[in-house]
Amino acid sequence: METVVLTLDQVEVNSEGYLKNVNDWSPELAREIAAKENIQLTEKHFEVLNWLRTKQAEGVQLSIRKIGNSGIVDIKQFYALFPGGPLKVSSKIAGIPKPASCI
């Protein structure tokens, strides 16, 4: 079991850095995870993160296309907000498991 020590909390993550317990997530923790990805979160980031968390809780299979159709951001904006693999990075920051569509 890997553990990441953050300034706010100590949480368990898997070998890829995703939270093991989605209930450990908080906006403060998201900011710390994002900082490790060199992303400074804005309100638009949190809109996307909250949408991801809601859809994941509903059991929706997440994909970049679905995010592009969310009405929050288009695909180009999604890539700009979460560079370097936007679905993987945003899911990690949102505290949800890595989507099956991500390699």
List the chain pLDDT tens, one digit each, 103 residues: 555 555 556 888 888 889 999 999 999 999 999 999 999 999 999 999 999 999 999 999 999 999 999 999 999 999 999 998 999 999 999 999 988 776 6
Q: What is the pLDDT of residue 1?
A: 53
Active site residues: 102
pTM of the model: 0.87
Are 96 and 22 in contact, with CB atoms under 8 Å apart? yes
Q: What pLDDT score was predicted for residue 10? A: 81
Q: How far is CA 50 from CA 36, 46, 57, 94, in A?
A: 19, 6, 11, 7
Ramachandran angles phi, psi of 51, nearest 5°:
-65, -45
pLDDT of residue 29: 94
